[in-house]
Structure 1
């Protein structure tokens, strides 16, 4: 056993001697790898990262089934989820990236993207690749985007938030909001018709006695009907606004993204350290290889 320990000591001593004898080779490869890593970092385009934070709440009682149904049409398999984790899939979906592409007019802002030979699907995939996997903390979602343009990075983050908010709110569209939208669309039409009948009523002659003529009575009846409908819609509008105001928005933006002032990449220090470690491994390997090669030549000689 004592002999084995002595042999181990000799082997370790030989290894150390090889390293010391070939230290110039090791240093050479370390310098080369560090230099290459440094040059590589300098040649890389700067990368800026922007982030936005949103708060997700549950919608109405039917929001889960609506979410699962629409998510299924988007090609997402959410099981029985419908919680905040599912937003990571929705965020990476093509329909979100397509909306960001159109809303921000990226084909006009990013050089080369206006090339008609580039397929729209490729552009959508490129936009989807600009958003990182969101960080989830409770019901808070942090969305991060990257770009070589700091302002574009912030616009992308806010664009993804707006697109996500748009589709999420549609999935959680409540009955009160539907009612409010319907009345908002119908009220101007009824008001226009009422104004038209009112103008007709002014043109119908009255008898000297002050009583309505037969022609006026028909217009008056139409006016009374439309006026009643108009008053009813106005009351319903106020009621719908009150109901909608009591609801908690299912999707709220906590912090919108701002233009970053410092680069997030390339990470020069990290790349240099990787180059240093890699250079050591390569240098030590070459030192032992050269030692083995030299001994082999000496034996043949």
Structure 2
């Protein structure tokens, strides 16, 4: 019994000492209440003035579905050998740079962002979108100098820095669901017009680049086929004309001299039949190439576009004030806590 009571007594003393230490620390810190309160007031003021520098941010969002044309070549493979005879490739539209997550990197590329920044502003035709961007970035606005137009010698530096900032702070391109082919493009600026027009401009530039690159092979095939078709038509028309000319040249030919008409006429007739067969195959391949072109378009299906008014975001001044107040007070408590430990040591 004595041992149990003694153990209980020691635990009770330990708990008591712990409570006394807490009370002692509270009294110690309480003796500096005016300092902690002053720090809190300073922090609140800093939070208030900082909140004055924070402007409303506007979010412009475009959502689109990326079509994967993996099966676009189905049904055309049977004609691949025939098409290859005239130097064409009617293979399916493989994905290339537009499959998977590569298109996301395309949206973040310098080429696409620069092209979007250099588009004219719809709200003010006298300015480019980069002018509004530089006005939004106060530290970069002076780069333009007194002339509102972008100076040539600063052009590359301005564009490079603008692309870097947009990628780091203002642009977000991602797939909300990895299992789906939906891609979301978010642009956030303090300028509502800039947010909307840059978002639309960037999507437009990527779409045009996508179409131009994706359809380049098919358009080249069509151009080759049309050129060869026109050439064969000219040769065929020439052969038909030759037959008529031979007949006209020997209107009353002696039956014993038929070779003068028959041999040239048969040569031209053979040329007509051969070119007619070639022309049929060329026209068939031309229609197949046009069908392949149709199957590859459209390539991007836009689902949602940004519309006014855009969604806006702004942290309230009260939140900045409370956070700064608590942070400064906590910093003061930590200082006095560390100071007493050092003194006691």
| Equivalent position SS for 1:63 | coil
Aligned equivalents of 2:57 and 2:188: distance in 1? Answer: 6
Flag the 1:249–1:121 CA change in 2: closer, same or farther, 3 A: farther
Asked if the contact 2:58/2:312 (under 8 Å) is kept, the reply is yes
Aligned equivalents of 2:116 and 2:15: distance in 1? Answer: 68
1:136 maps to 176
Q: Normalised by the size of structure 2, how large is the TM-score? A: 0.57
Cα shift at 1:115: 3.9
Aligned equivalents of 2:297 and 2:130: distance in 1? Answer: 36
Cα shift at 1:255: 1.4
Q: Does 1:172 align with 2:214?
A: yes
Flag the 1:95–1:165 CA change in 2: closer, same or farther, 3 A: same
Q: Which structure has the larger Rg?
A: 2
Q: 1:106 aligns with which of 129, 141, 147?
A: 129
Give a deviation string over 1:25-59, Cα, whole Å, max 9, x none: 32322222122112112123433221111111224
Cα shift at 1:155: 1.0
Q: 2:27 aligns with which of 8, 11, 17?
A: 17
Structure 2 segments unaligned to the other structure (5+ residues):
1-10, 71-91, 121-127, 136-140, 145-149, 235-246, 250-267
Aligned equivalents of 1:177 and 1:132: distance in 2? Answer: 33
Q: Does 1:87 align with 2:103?
A: yes
Aligned equivalents of 1:40 and 1:56: distance in 2? Answer: 42
Give a deviation string over 1:223-264, Cα, whole Å, max 9, x none: x9xxx9999999877665444334463322111222444532
| Equivalent position SS for 2:306 | coil
Asked if the contact 1:18/1:291 (under 8 Å) is kept, the reply is no
Q: Does 1:263 align with 2:312?
A: yes
Aligned equivalents of 2:47 and 2:38: distance in 1? Answer: 14
Give a deviation string over 1:46-73, Cα, whole Å, max 9, x none: 3322111111122454534x32xxxxxx
Q: 1:57 aligns with which of 62, 67, 71?
A: 67
Aligned equivalents of 1:277 and 1:181: distance in 2? Answer: 71
Cα shift at 1:176: 4.3
Q: 1:251 aligns with which of 284, 295, 300?
A: 300
Q: 1:277 aligns with which of 326, 330, 342?
A: 326
Q: 2:154 aligns with which of 118, 129, 152?
A: 118
Aligned equivalents of 1:135 and 1:29: distance in 2? Answer: 45
1:4 maps to 14
Flag the 1:179–1:291 CA change in 2: closer, same or farther, 3 A: closer
| Equivalent position SS for 2:176 | strand
Flag the 1:118–1:41 CA change in 2: closer, same or farther, 3 A: farther
Q: Normalised by the size of structure 1, how large is the TM-score? A: 0.64
Aligned equivalents of 1:115 and 1:268: distance in 2? Answer: 39
Cα shift at 1:100: 1.4
Equivalent pairs, count: 251
